[in-house]
Amino acid sequence: MKDYVVVVGGLNIDIAGLSGDVYREKDSNIGEVTINIGGVGQNIAQNLTKLGTPTHLVTVYGDDSFGKIAQMECKKNKIGLENAEQIENSRSSIYLYVNDNEGDLVTGINDMKICENITPEFLAKRLDFINGAKIVVVDCNLSQESIEWLCENVTSPIYVDPVSVAKVDRVKNVLDKIHTLKPNELEAELLTGIKITDEATAREAAKALNEKGVKNVYISLGAQGILCVKEGEAVLVKPLAKKIVSTNGAGDCSMATLVWARFNHGEELPLEEVGTYTQAAASINVESPLAVSPELNVEEVLKRAEEGKKN
């Protein structure tokens, strides 16, 4: 089998409420409601296939109507589900969220109980396939026990997306087993105890994560950009987005781009170039109301990255 990426994580159905020009809290707002396939793991996998990277998703889904939709959409998006499992008499994972008129998340509710089936026993049956991957991506929707098991047993480079402040501590005991970590500033604060208020404190937090064993650290700093740190080298790459419709999924897109860059170029790319690619991809993502932009492709990423270097 040729080189491939394995993503171990969540496969959701996303139900999104997108506000119109005016958003009022605790009121009925005019806007759009969409139903799409989602989940951090699936989003990363779908972004990777859009970037021409053979990708398999190790996950679970229910035997309900949403599970059928998930299967169909993954097939359409060329995401391999051969090592996923449909759980009988279970409802699929659902994420319900609302974005305001600026495209920012107002609130979200996730029903991801089915992910509890991704146990060490479940993963052990698939370990040979997982270890055959060039890169393994883990999202923190998995239990701490399962994340730690993966970090102790996977031999391929492990990339971790912390997902949220509530879940980031699930990697605290295995930071030395992580090749690449992409937290935001709040997640990095929780892992290091360093309050991030600017670029300087972000660099301190990244250095602390390096000292804990993480080889590569990419801290998302929102409007400031992404701080890229590797073996003492650090560079802040500014955002390239000109128009923001929705920020949902932007972090998943950035993670996929990090994986794509290493999958195709190994460790050879300069740190700033890798960061520029992530910002180029994210700029495409935030122009779409969907968590994964239909417009994402390698040609467009390279084009926007080149434009970013000139500005």
Q: pLDDT, tens digit, for every residue of 252-308?
A: 999 999 999 999 988 888 999 999 999 999 999 999 988 899 999 999 999 999 988
Condensed to tens digits (0 to 9), the pLDDT of residues 188-223 reads 999 999 999 999 999 999 999 999 999 999 999 988
pTM for this model (two decimals): 0.91
Report the candidate in 175, 123, 176, 139 with the shortest Cα–Cα distance to residue 44.
139
Neighbours of 126 (CB within 10 A): 17
Residues 202 and 235: beta-carbon distance below 8 Å: no
pLDDT of residue 76: 96
pLDDT of residue 3: 95
- Which two structure tokens, joined as six digits, stand for 252? 């998943």
Condensed to tens digits (0 to 9), the pLDDT of residues 68-102 reads 999 999 999 999 999 999 999 999 999 898 999 98
Report the candidate in 65, 40, 89 with the shortest Cα–Cα distance to residue 248.
40
Residue 309: in which H helix or E strand, if any?
A: helix 298-310
Mean pLDDT of 139-168: 96
Q: Give, in order, the Cα–Cα distances in Å from 300 to each of 22, 50, 57, 285, 295.
A: 32, 11, 25, 11, 8
Mean pLDDT of the chain: 94
The answer on pLDDT for 1 being more than 70 is no
pLDDT of residue 5: 98
How far apart CA 162 and CA 152 sit, in angstroms, is: 18
pLDDT of residue 290: 85
